[in-house]
């Protein structure tokens, strides 16, 4: 029996990919804004219902570009309950991350805690739509307007998610999404920025191509962060299959809820009424006081059965040695984030995962409780 991982990338049938590869081979256009790159930007904009999409080599470079192209200076308030790339991008952009606590259910930045963290040096907020569930976008928008702050959403998990009838990626000044192989929509590696203004898109497109403008001159110190034609071709195919991928993820998620809801000591996240969820992850939260094995014990039991669950996100970003030394903070300063981090365990969820495997995973958890 092979191992079951938290996420396994969806790959379209190879025979569908071959014509794209032949086209690229014949054209000798491998990168630099080729036809598949341009086509994918257009199709993603139409699929998401947004005006401007700019593709990137990965989601981290996209976050850095967003900060650079909005000319952010000073401090950026963000969450400690995320993957390290969130804060790393802020540091890479020459800025200071300031961590604030999250809500205790979804794990998203708490607007009240954001407001308390604002200083005269605060220039922006970088919230994360954790596991693809929407942040309190109205509350964050109100704070941003009140203090004249920019909002860059780390929407790495949020592709395909919608809130109140519109793409979750359409909120804020810019949203950055990841197309990493583990995501529900992938281009092997990749990402994108979604913005509202063609002028900002031109600035972003220039930044990711060394700062070169249409006239060939350089007006900013850009970098090389372009998505190549092979990745764009895979993205075009992924988009054709995305509705089916989403339906498979939904069915597996419902099956998990059916078997796990009601087990004492195990809690699961339910979607908000206003959201159309993208079923990006299936985290459970293990209460060690009630569930005897605790989180680590349960992960070990699953691993013994070749099921690899992930403590995602543990530890908090603020607890990594680099951040503790660079930005000392009160160890008790993020109680909600710390509680979630010490309980969370993401279970396998991906297209192609057998329903029988989900049932087996749930049976192991149920037996562990007894």
308 band by pLDDT with thresholds 50, 70 and 90: very high
| 261 domain residue, yes or no | yes
The answer to whether residues 162 and 283 belong to one domain is: no
Buried b / exposed e across 99-129, counting CB within 10 Å, b at 16+?
bbbbbeebbbbbbebbbebbeeebbbbbbbb
Q: 202, 217, 238 — which closes off a domain? A: 238
pLDDT 10s digits, 120-163: 999 999 999 999 999 999 999 999 999 999 999 999 999 999 99
332 band by pLDDT with thresholds 50, 70 and 90: confident
Q: 203, 238, 273 — which closes off a domain? A: 238
The span from the CA of 164 to the CA of 301, in Å, is 40
Q: Are 137 and 171 spatial neighbours (Cβ–Cβ below 8 Å)?
A: yes
- Encoding tokens for residue 185? 């929509």
- Cβ burial, residue 239 (10 Å; 0-12/13-18/19+): middle
**pLDDT for the residue 152:** 98
| 1 domain residue, yes or no | no
Tell me how many domains the chain contains: 2
**pLDDT for the residue 263:** 96
Q: Are 143 and 125 spatial neighbours (Cβ–Cβ below 8 Å)?
A: yes
pLDDT 10s digits, 255-284: 999 999 999 999 999 999 999 999 999 999
| 91 domain residue, yes or no | yes
The answer to whether residues 220 and 268 belong to one domain is: no
CA angle 37, 245, 255 (to 5 degrees): 155
pLDDT at 1 over 60: no
* Residue 294 domain boundaries: 242-369
The answer to whether residues 81 and 217 belong to one domain is: yes
The answer to whether residues 326 and 203 belong to one domain is: no
| 246 domain residue, yes or no | yes
Q: What are all long-range contacts of 205-212, with beta carbons under 8 Å and residues at least 24 apart? A: 205/54, 207/65, 207/68, 207/69, 208/54, 208/56, 208/57, 208/61, 208/65, 209/32, 209/33
pLDDT 10s digits, 217-251: 998 999 999 999 999 999 999 999 999 999 999 99
CATH number at residue 300: 3.90.1150.10
| 5 domain residue, yes or no | no
pLDDT 10s digits, 186-220: 999 999 999 999 999 999 999 999 999 888 899 89
The span from the CA of 312 to the CA of 77, in Å, is 21
The answer to whether residues 197 and 54 belong to one domain is: yes
The answer to whether residues 154 and 301 belong to one domain is: no
| 61 domain residue, yes or no | yes
The answer to whether residues 228 and 253 belong to one domain is: no
The answer to whether residues 88 and 222 belong to one domain is: yes
| 7 domain residue, yes or no | no
The answer to whether residues 333 and 191 belong to one domain is: no
Q: 222, 238, 254 — which closes off a domain? A: 238
| 307 domain residue, yes or no | yes
């Amino acid at each position: 029996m092979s191992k079951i991982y938290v996420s396994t990338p969806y790959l379209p049938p190879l025979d569908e990919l071959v014509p794209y590869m032949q086209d690229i081979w014949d054209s000798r256009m491998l990168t630099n804004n080729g036809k598949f790159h341009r086509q994918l930007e257009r199709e993603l904009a139409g699929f998401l219902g947004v005006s401007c999409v700019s593709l990137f080599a990965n989601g981290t470079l996209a976050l850095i570009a967003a900060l650079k192209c909005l000319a952010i200076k000073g401090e950026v308030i963000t969450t400690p309950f995320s993957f390290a790339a969130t804060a790393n991008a802020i540091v890479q952009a020459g800025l200071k991350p300031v961590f604030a606590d999250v809500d205790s259910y979804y794990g998203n930045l708490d607007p009240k805690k954001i407001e308390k963290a604002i200083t005269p040096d605060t220039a922006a907020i970088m919230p994360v739509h954790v596991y693809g569930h929407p942040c309190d976008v109205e509350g964050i928008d109100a704070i941003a307007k009140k203090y004249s702050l920019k909002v860059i959403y780390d929407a790495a998990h949020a592709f395909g998610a919608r809130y109140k009838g519109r793409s979750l990626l359409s909120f804020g000044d810019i949203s950055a999404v990841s197309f990493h192989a583990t995501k529900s929509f992938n281009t092997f590696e990749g990402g994108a920025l979604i913005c509202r203004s063609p002028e900002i898109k031109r600035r972003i497109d220039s930044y990711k191509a060394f700062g070169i403008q249409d006239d060939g001159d350089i007006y900013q110190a850009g970098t090389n962060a372009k998505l190549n034609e092979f990745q764009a071709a895979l993205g075009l195919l992924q988009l054709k299959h995305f509705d089916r991928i989403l339906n498979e993820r939904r069915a597996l998620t419902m099956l998990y809820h059916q078997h796990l809801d009601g087990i004492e000591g195990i809690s699961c996240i339910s979607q908000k009424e206003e959201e159309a969820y993208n079923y990006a992850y299936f985290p459970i939260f293990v209460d060690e006081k009630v569930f005897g094995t605790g989180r680590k014990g349960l992960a070990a039991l699953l691993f013994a059965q070749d099921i690899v669950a992930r403590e995602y996100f543990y530890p908090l970003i603020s607890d990594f040695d680099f951040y503790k030394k660079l930005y000392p903070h009160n160890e008790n300063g993020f109680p909600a984030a710390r509680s979630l981090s010490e309980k969370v365990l993401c279970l396998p969820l991906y297209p192609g995962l057998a329903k029988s495997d989900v049932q087996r995973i749930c049976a192991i958890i149920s037996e562990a409780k007894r």
